[in-house]
Amino acid sequence: MIEDKSLGLISVFIRNLTVTDSGTYRCRAGSQPVQEVNFNVKQEPCCGRSEDQTAYLGGTAVIHCKYPEEYKDHGKQLFKVQNGSLECIITAFGSPFTNGRFSLNVNEQEHVFSVTIADVERSDAGVYFCGIHTNIYTPLLTEIQLHVSENQEQTDASGQSDLYIISTVCSCVILLLAVGLSLSLFKCRCKKTEGSVSSDQRDTRDGDEEVNSPYYEAIQDSAQVSIGLNTVYATPFTHKPL
> For 72-100, what is the mean pLDDT?
91
> For 86-106, what is the mean pLDDT?
92
Residues 13 and 70 reside in one and the same domain: no
Residue where one domain finishes, among candidates 94, 128, 149: 149
d(CA 107, CA 114): 8
- Per-residue pLDDT at 192: 56
DSSP assigned state of 73: T
CB distance 175 to 83 below 8 Å: no
Q: What pLDDT, in 10s, does the model give residues 172-198?
A: 778 777 777 777 776 666 665 555 555
d(CA 102, CA 117): 5
Residues 33 and 113 reside in one and the same domain: no
* Predicted TM-score (pTM) of this structure: 0.59
Residue where one domain finishes, among candidates 113, 134, 149: 149
- Per-residue pLDDT at 195: 57
Residues 121 and 144 reside in one and the same domain: yes
CA-based nearest residue to 84, from 7, 5, 12? 12
Host domain of residue 17: 1-42
Q: How many domains does the chain have?
A: 3
d(CA 61, CA 151): 12
Residues 223 and 191 reside in one and the same domain: yes
Q: Tell me the average pLDDT of the chain.
A: 78
Give the distance between the most distant pair of CA atoms in the chain: 145
> For 105-130, what is the mean pLDDT?
95
> For 106-135, what is the mean pLDDT?
94
Residues 107 and 142 reside in one and the same domain: yes
Residue where one domain finishes, among candidates 130, 149, 168: 149
Residues 38 and 109 reside in one and the same domain: no
d(CA 188, CA 213): 37
